[in-house]
Amino acid sequence: MNAKNLSYQRLVKHFTSLSHFEHFNALAEWDLAAMMPKGGGADRTDALATLSGHIHELKSASWLSDAIHEATQGPLSSEQAANVREMARQHSQASLMPTDLVEAKTRAGLNCEQAWRGQRQNNDWLGFKPNLTEVINLTQQEAQVRSQALGISPYDSLLDKFEPGIKAHDIEQWFSPLRQQLPALIQTVLTKQAQEMNISAQGHYPQAAQVALSHKVMTRLGFNFDHGRLDISSHPFTGGVPSDVRLTTRFDESDFTSALMGTIHETGHALYEMGLPKAFSSQPAGQARSMAVHESQSLFCEMQLGRSEGFLGLIINDINNTLNSEFDLKRLANLYTRVSAGRIRVDADEVTYPCHILLRFDAEKALVTGELAVADLPDFWSANMQSLLGINTDGDYRNGCMQDIHWTLGELGYFPSYSLGAMLAAQLRNTMEQQLGDVNQVMATQGLAPIFAWLSEQVWQQGSLLSTPELIQQACGAPLSAEYLLQHLRQRYL
């Protein structure tokens, strides 16, 4: 092996070591949100800020530039070349940011998030506002640093962290058909469903029974409990690492439907993580491609599968036996395809869901540029909820602009990934059905195995070996388009 190949091996060793620090960072963040006693918050915040600074220094080490250049000069397989490309990207991203800003933003975000848990519950906007203001100020500083280094707009520089190479202009083009067609579609569906029986799931469903149901459904979906677990947090999320995936959800004992779909959603994230290419498990090329691809897998499970009669037919006995209920399949399907304009994003049906993302996309663009001040966020929120969904949120901060965890951590640029993921999920299903046949029929005759085998080959095992556009083109034979999502919504709801 010549010196050029030795450079690649040196890089592999370095990024393997880096992945070990990221492993414990991920588990410490999960523990903070799900298990840590309240009194541990201050010291955990300091520890995570220090650890994030150390990870940043490892990624931005000056010698990496020469080593990456040297590695590209020697013989590399296509997969190794992709790994070097992703190493270069991570190094470049980290090198843009000073360590003290990374640590300051981490500390402010964790302080804000921990306080938010109680502040949201108490509808305490006045207590939350100064914490969020500090996080947004630091995020604006980050955006300016990234913008100047990359030669792109501040908001585009934040988007690039979650969706490499994607610009706000691209997202506007993808979202344009949703902006134009969703209002009329929503009204048509609401008018249609107003003539139908309105089914309710209200009752008493003990949390212990819902946890047991979640475990059964996760097992049906293929979740491996030897490599993960389910816990409870203020906001559902998936964390950990591919060999130890940590899921969380939240339960409402008066209505099981939201927690069950939340669990299915997070299991989709987990299956993607567990299915990433093992040969690159400690390397950049073995990581998830982007947040849109990640959300496509969770939304495929939750929306494309979870709300279909085919999937509900697979789990209806689990539901009735575990919750001591007597739902029939039609009633259950009615529950999960009921459309209504609501305040909470994570509880939204798939027809109105994109409206929640359009609001957040517009808000965070304005927050980054300073056109929207944090103090004016509640009024902006209420006005746009009124415009998009006919809902007034004045004074209801906990179910308005305080409902999500993302901005408390400074994760501006993330929200578009949800609707991009919904679009990709619909496009993946369209392509899958061309090859496997109707998904509901596949589930009825063969179960879930063929579906997940297809996703594994087309998405999970690809990791970051391809760019996002390349992955979509290879899997679907066409670039990303909103038309598949709109077609899916019309087919299912009209």
DSSP assignment of 7-23, as one string?
HHHHHHHHHHHHHHHHH
Catalytic residue positions, numbered = 266
Give the mean pLDDT of 332-348. Answer: 94
Residue of 337, 339, 292, 332 whose CA lies nearest to 315? 332
pLDDT value for 2: 44
Where in the sequence of the chain do the CATH 1.10.1370.30 domains occur? Answer: 169-493
Whole-structure pTM value: 0.95
Q: Binning pLDDT at 50, 70 and 90, where does residue 4 land?
A: low
**Cβ neighbours of residue 406 under 8 Å, at least 6 residues apart?**
412, 414, 415
Residue pair 452/274 in contact by the 8 Å Cβ criterion: no
Residue of 212, 232, 215 whose CA lies nearest to 224? 215
pLDDT digits (tens, 9 = 90+) for 41-90: 999 999 999 999 999 999 999 999 999 999 999 899 999 999 999 999 99
pLDDT digits (tens, 9 = 90+) for 343-382: 999 989 999 999 999 999 999 999 999 999 999 999 999 9
The type of residue at 104 is A
228-232/237-241 β-pairing: unpaired
Assigned CATH for 169-493:
1.10.1370.30
